[in-house]
Amino acid sequence: MLKLAILLLLVAARLTAAQASTPYDRALQLEAADKYRDAAIAYREALRVEPGNLPAMLGLERSYAQMGWTDSLLALLDTALTARPTDVTLRTIQLRTLRSARDDAAMRAAFEQWLRAAPKQHAPFREYAKILLQDGFSSAADSVLQRAEAAFGSGDGLELEAAQIRASMGLWAQSAEAWRKAVAGAGYLEQAAIFSLAPAPAAARDDLRKALLAVPLVVGARRIAAALELEWGFPRAGWDLLRALPPDSAGLAAWLDFARRAEEAQAWLVARDALMTAYARTGSAALASRAATDAMNGGDMRAALSISAALSTDTGAAALAVLPVRLRALASLGRAEEAARALEGARGRISQDQYARLARTVAWGWIRRGDLAKARAHLEVSDDEERDDPVYGWLALYEGDLRSARRMLTSQSESAPDLVAALALLARTKVDSAPAVGRAFLALARGDTSRAITEFEQSARSIAEIETLLLAAAARLAGAAHQDTRALAIWRGLAQGHPGSPEAPEAELEWARALHRAGQNSAAMARLEHLILAFPGSALIPQARRELELARANIPSTP
Amino acid sequence: MMHIIRAGRATPFLALLALALAAIPVRTQHVLVPMDDEQGNHLKAYGLMFSALKDGLRGEWLLNYRGGSFLLPDVQTLRRRAALDGVTLLGVDNATLAGVRAEIATANMDAVPLEKAPRIAVYTPPEAPPWDDAVTLALRYAGIEYTTVWDAEVARGDLTKYDWLHLHHEDFTGQLSKFYISYRGAPWFVEQQQRNLAMARQLGFGTIPELKKAVAERMRQFVENGGFIFAMCGATETLELAIAGRTVDIAGSFGDGTPIDENADSKMAWQRSFAFKEARLELSPFTNSMSDIDGHQVNVPGRRQPLGTFTLFGFSAKFDPVASMLVQDHRTVIADFYGVTTSFSRRTLKPGATILAEEEGAPWVKYLHGDYGKGSWTYLGGHDPEDPQHSIGNPPTDLSLHPHSPGYRLILNNVLFPAAKKKPLKT
Tell me, yes or no, whether B44 lies in a domain: yes
B264 & B199 share domain: yes
Range of the domain at A363: 336-383
pLDDT of residue A284: 87
* Low-confidence winner among A14-23, A349-358, A491-500, B271-280 (lowest mean pLDDT): A14-23
Instruction: Tell me the residues of chain A between 130 and 149 that have a Cβ less than 8 Å away from chain B.
Output: 132, 135-140, 142-143
Dump pLDDT digits (tens) for A84-133. 899 999 999 999 998 888 788 888 899 999 999 999 999 999 999 988 88
When CB atoms are compared, the residue of B140, B301, B399 closest to A137 is B301
Q: What pLDDT does A19 receive?
A: 55
Comparison of pLDDT for B24 and B181, the residue scoring more:
B181
Same domain, A411 and A439: yes
Does A314 have pLDDT greater than 90? no
| A47 domain-assigned | no
Residue B6 lies in a domain: no
Alpha carbons B151 and B231: distance in angstroms, whole number: 16
Question: Tell me, what's the pLDDT at A7?
Answer: 53
Q: What is the mean pLDDT of chain B?
A: 88
Which of B48, B81, B114 is a domain's end point? Answer: B114
Q: Return the higher-pLDDT residue of B71 and A132.
A: B71
DSSP code for A217:
P
ipTM metric? 0.77
Is A412 a member of any domain? yes
**Confidence grade of residue A416 (pLDDT, cut at 50, 70, 90):** confident
Cβ-based contacts of A529 with chain B (< 8 Å): 84
Which domain-ending residue is among A314, A349, A383? A383
The dihedrals phi and psi of A93, each to the nearest 5 degrees, come to -60, -40
> DSSP per residue over A495-506, as a string?
HHH-TTSTTHHH
Domain edge (last residue) among B114, B135, B151: B114
Which whole number is the average pLDDT over A262-279? 96
Angle at CA A428, nearest 5°, toward A424 and A433? 100
pLDDT at A435: 93
Q: Does B270 touch chain A (CB under 8 A)?
A: no
- The answer to whether residues A375 and A441 belong to one domain is no
pLDDT at A242 over 50: yes
> Are B191 and B83 within one domain?
no
Report the number of distinct structural domains present in chain B. Answer: 2
- Residue B426 in any domain: the answer is no
Confidence of residue A9 (pLDDT cuts 50, 70, 90): low
List the single best residue of B182, B191, B192, B387 to mutate versus A (max A Cβ within 10 A): B182
- Both B283 and B157 in a single domain? yes
Domain span at residue B155? 120-419
Does any CB of chain A come closer than 8 Å to the CB of residue B190?
no
User: Per the domain annotation, does A204 fall within a domain?
Assistant: no
Of the candidates A104, A171, A529, the beta carbon closest to that of B302 is on: A104
Alpha-carbon span A290 to A262, nearest angstrom: 12
- Count the domains in chain A: 3
B303-353 confidence digits (pLDDT tens) = 888 899 999 999 999 999 999 999 999 999 999 999 999 999 999 999 999
Kindly indicate the confidence band of residue B288, based on its pLDDT and cuts at 50, 70 and 90: confident
Q: What is the pLDDT of residue B14?
A: 39
Statement to judge: residues A411 and A475 lie in one domain: yes
Q: Are residues B100 and B128 in the same domain?
A: no
Which of B72, B102, B101, B66 shows the shortest CA–CA distance to B89?
B72
Regarding whether B188 and B87 lie in a shared domain, the answer is no
Q: How confident is the model at residue A268 (pLDDT cuts 50, 70, 90)?
A: very high
Residue B15: pLDDT band with limits 50, 70, 90: very low
Q: How confident is the model at residue A378, as a pLDDT?
A: 83
Q: Is A101 exposed, middle or buried (0-12, 13-18, 19+ CB in 10 A)?
A: middle
Q: Is the pLDDT of residue B425 over 50?
A: no
| CATH classification of the domain holding B126 | 3.40.50.880
- Asked, for residue A520, whether it belongs to a domain, the answer is yes
Residues of B with CB below 8 A from A142's CB?
A: 182
Has residue B417 got a pLDDT over 50?
A: yes
Residue B18 confidence class, pLDDT cut points 50, 70, 90: very low
Q: Is residue B141 domain-shared with residue B97, that is, in the same domain?
A: no
Same domain, A401 and A461: yes
B107/B163 same-domain check: no
* DSSP designation for A287: H
B3 assigned to some structural domain: no
d(CA A471, CA A457): 6
Does the pLDDT value for residue B17 go beyond 70?
Answer: no
Listed residues B82, B114, B146: the one ending a domain: B114
Please give the Cα distance from B32 to B59 (Å, whole number): 10
| C-alpha A503, offset from chain centre | 34
Give B81-92 pLDDT, tens digit per residue.
Answer: 999 999 999 999
Q: How confident is the model at residue B359 (pLDDT cuts 50, 70, 90)?
A: very high
As a whole number, the mean pLDDT across chain A is 89
The proportion of chain B whose per-residue pLDDT surpasses 70, expressed as a percent, equals 92
- The stretch A535-558 carries a mean pLDDT of 91
What are B121-174's pLDDT values in tens digits? 999 988 777 777 899 999 999 999 999 999 999 999 999 999 999 998 889 999
Percent of chain A whose pLDDT exceeds 90:
57
The stretch B47-56 carries a mean pLDDT of 96
Same domain, A391 and A478: yes
The per-residue pLDDT for B217 is 96
- Same domain flag for B281 and B409: yes
Whether B211 is covered by a domain: the verdict is yes
At residue B31, does pLDDT exceed 50? yes
Q: Are residues B81 and B97 in the same domain?
A: yes
What average pLDDT does range B11-16 have in this prediction?
A: 39
Q: Kindly state whether B113 is in contact with chain A, defined as any CB-CB distance less than 8 angstroms.
A: no
Chain B CB within 8 Å of residue A201 CB: yes
CATH of residue A555's domain is 1.25.40.10
Question: Looking at per-residue confidence, does A60 or A383 come out higher?
Answer: A60
Interface of B with A in 197-236 (CB under 8 A): none
pLDDT of residue A420: 86
Query: Would you say residue A377 lies in a domain?
Result: yes
Arithmetic mean of pLDDT, A132-136: 83
Q: Does residue A442 lie within any of the structural domains? A: yes
**B361 and B376: one domain?**
yes
Q: Characterize A59-93 residue by residue with b for buried, 16 or more Cβ atoms within 10 angstroms of its Cβ, and e for exposed.
A: bbbbbbeeeeebeebbebbeebbeeeeebbebbbb
Which residues in A lie closer than 8 A to residue B183 (C-beta atoms)? 139, 169, 171
Q: What is the pLDDT of residue A153?
A: 86
- Residues of chain A positioned with their CB less than 8 A from the CB of B288: 139
B2 lies in a domain? no
Q: Is residue B268 part of a domain?
A: yes
